[in-house]
Structures are given as structure tokens and as C-alpha cells.
């Protein structure tokens, strides 16, 4: 009897704690992020790394100020690793990404899913490498709900002779609520989760300004060379050139977002 009551009280407390936590989390950091933002190096050797873009809220409703306007599409790209912006412990690195990652090039496989949006396709570089995807159309994401948009990443191999203890890839993501040209970007039309690198998608002053989603790959295969000490953290951002070129939705040979 006492034991049962104790269990019940414990469960009630845990429930209250969980609700409290959820409330705080929603108001503080409910942004578009990856479902699993930290993965191990080359985990894909055991299959793929299954992940997802989590769209946490819609655009701003001008009447109520709530972030609950329906989302009609989303587009995401990883840095291409060619003209990307690389830092090492926060300091600019002028060498290539191959100094730290041996196999970057074709990071994304979309997991087919029409549960929210009816259409989806890859964003590829000129060699056909899949750098990201867009999805949109159909009924879309109703305001007040979240979307889990599934994809997988290829295994990332950290250069064994490098001192990288982690490599973080910074994504560019746009959640579209209304199709406009770049001059029409606002919290009411689009949420831009991009690094502020000077692209047309910076979104200065908007909800997602310089608050991008990231995928951090932790070194876990080759041990750090002894000369590395505790190792360094590498960050890879897409260039403004790449975002301007790749973060768009083309459908049937036409660009449908942003409007031109
Ligand atoms: Cu937000």
C-alpha cells in the first residue's frame, strides 16, 4: 500500500517535472534543428545515420504574434566542403576540408516521406553529389504542430593524422510559409536557420538570425596523435556563394522558392 502510494507520488512528480521542462524548452530554444545533432565518426559503417530535420514551429502570425502559421515547405543544405568556411578552435583555417575529413562529398540520402509534404527532391552539386533536399507542397505542416522530416547521413571519417576531436557541419535551412522573393523575407513568410555568412538568406533581425542547425561528428575511430594534446574542434560552414546557389527549391525545371 505505502509502496504503491510512493510510486504514484514519484510518477506524478516526474510527470510535473517533465511538463515543466517541456514548457521551458519550448519557449527558450524551439528552433528548427536536427533530431540527432551529435553523432559518432563513421557510424554509417553499421548502416546509415538516421536523422531528421525537426521543424519546431511555423512563421509569425501578425495578428497574434504566435509562431503558428502553416509551413508549406522546407529546404536544407550541408556545406559542400569546397569553398566552405572552416575554423579550428574558432580560428580561421585556410587549408581544405580534407585536412580534417577524408570523405566529405555526398552527405545526404533523403528518406522518402509524404506524410507532411507531397513532394521532395535532392539539392545536388554539379557532380551529382547530394548536399541536401527540399520538401514541400501538399497539406503541409499545420501551425502548432512539429514536423520530423527524415533523412540519413553518410559516414564521416575524420583524417586520422589530424588533431580534430570533432567536426561540426553547419547547415542552412529555410522553412517557408509564404513564397516571396528575398526582399519579402520576414518572420511572417519564412524562417531562416542559416549561418550569417553574407548570403541573401542571412535574415538580419529575424527569428532564426545566425542560429543554424548543426551536425557534430565526434572523433571515435583513430585515436588522437600524441602531439595533439587534447585536440581541436573544427567547424565547417557553407559559404555565401554556396547558400545563394543551393538553398532554393527547383521543381519541374522552375525555381519556385524564393520567387525571382
Ligand atoms: Cu524559434
**How far is ligand 1, taken at its centre, from the CA of residue 82, in Å?**
30
Q: Give the Å distance between the CA of 31 and the centre of ligand 1.
A: 4
CA distance from start to end of the chain: 70
> What single-letter DSSP state applies at residue 220?
-
pLDDT score of 7 = 54
pLDDT of residue 33: 97
pLDDT in the model for residue 42: 87
What is the 58 CA–ligand 1 centroid distance (Å)? 8
Distance 127 CA to ligand 1 centre (A): 34
The residues whose Cβ lies within 5 A of ligand 1, an ion, are 31
Distance from the CA of 158 to the center of ligand 1, in angstroms?
Answer: 32
> What's the pLDDT at 30?
81
Task: Give the Cα separation of 173 and 191 in Å (integer).
Answer: 8
Per-residue pLDDT of the chain (260 residues; tens, 9 = 90+): 445 545 545 554 454 444 444 444 444 458 999 999 999 998 766 556 899 999 999 999 999 999 999 999 999 999 999 999 999 999 999 999 999 999 999 999 999 999 999 999 999 999 999 999 999 999 999 999 999 999 999 999 999 999 999 999 999 999 999 999 999 999 999 999 999 999 999 999 999 999 999 999 999 999 999 999 999 999 999 999 999 999 999 999 999 999 98
Closest CA to 72 of 134, 126, 124: 134
Q: What is the DSSP string of 25-69?
A: HHHHH---EESS-EEETTGGGGS-EEEEEEE---B--TTT--S-B
Residue 145 grid cell: 504542430
Q: Ligand 1: distance of its center to the CA of 183 in Å?
A: 21
Ligand 1 centroid from CA 179, angstroms: 19
pLDDT of residue 45: 63
Q: Is 116 left (phi over 0), alpha (psi -120 to 50) or beta?
A: alpha
Q: Which fold has domain 31-257?
A: Immunoglobulin-like (2.60.40)
Can you read off the three cell numbers belonging to residue 228? 595533439
Cα of 162 vs centre of ligand 1, distance in Å, is 36
Q: How far is CA 211 from CA 32, 64, 174, 195, 218, in A?
A: 9, 24, 12, 6, 21
Tell me, in angstroms, the distance from the centre of ligand 1 to residue 128's CA: 32
**227 C-alpha to ligand 1 centroid (Å):** 42
Amino acid at each position: 500500500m505505502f509502496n504503491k502510494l510512493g510510486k504514484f507520488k514519484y510518477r506524478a512528480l516526474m510527470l510535473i517535472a517533465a511538463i515543466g521542462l517541456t514548457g521551458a524548452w519550448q519557449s527558450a530554444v524551439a528552433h528548427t534543428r536536427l533530431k540527432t545533432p551529435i553523432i559518432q565518426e563513421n557510424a554509417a559503417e553499421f548502416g546509415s545515420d538516421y536523422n531528421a530535420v525537426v521543424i519546431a514551429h511555423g512563421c509569425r502570425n501578425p495578428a497574434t504574434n504566435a509562431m503558428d502559421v502553416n509551413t508549406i515547405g522546407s529546404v536544407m543544405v550541408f556545406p559542400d566542403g569546397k569553398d566552405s568556411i572552416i575554423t579550428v578552435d574558432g580560428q580561421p583555417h585556410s587549408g581544405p576540408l580534407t585536412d580534417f575529413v577524408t570523405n566529405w562529398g555526398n552527405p545526404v540520402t533523403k528518406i522518402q516521406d509524404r506524410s507532411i509534404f507531397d513532394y521532395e527532391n535532392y539539392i545536388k552539386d554539379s557532380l551529382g553529389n547530394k548536399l541536401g533536399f527540399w520538401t514541400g507542397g501538399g497539406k503541409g505542416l499545420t501551425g502548432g504542430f512539429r514536423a520530423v522530416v527524415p533523412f540519413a547521413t553518410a559516414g564521416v571519417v575524420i583524417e586520422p593524422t589530424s588533431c580534430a576531436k570533432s567536426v561540426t557541419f553547419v547547415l542552412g535551412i529555410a522553412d517557408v510559409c509564404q513564397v516571396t522573393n528575398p526582399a519579402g523575407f520576414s518572420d511572417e513568410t519564412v524562417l531562416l536557420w542559416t549561418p550569417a555568412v553574407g548570403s541573401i538568406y542571412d535574415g538580419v533581425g529575424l527569428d532564426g538570425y545566425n542560429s543554424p542547425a548543426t551536425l557534430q561528428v565526434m572523433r571515435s575511430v583513430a585515436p588522437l596523435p600524441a602531439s595533439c594534446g587534447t585536440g581541436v574542434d573544427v567547424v565547417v560552414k557553407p559559404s555565401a556563394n554556396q547558400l545563394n546557389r543551393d538553398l532554393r527549391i527547383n521543381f519541374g525545371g522552375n525555381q519556385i522558392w524564393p520567387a525571382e
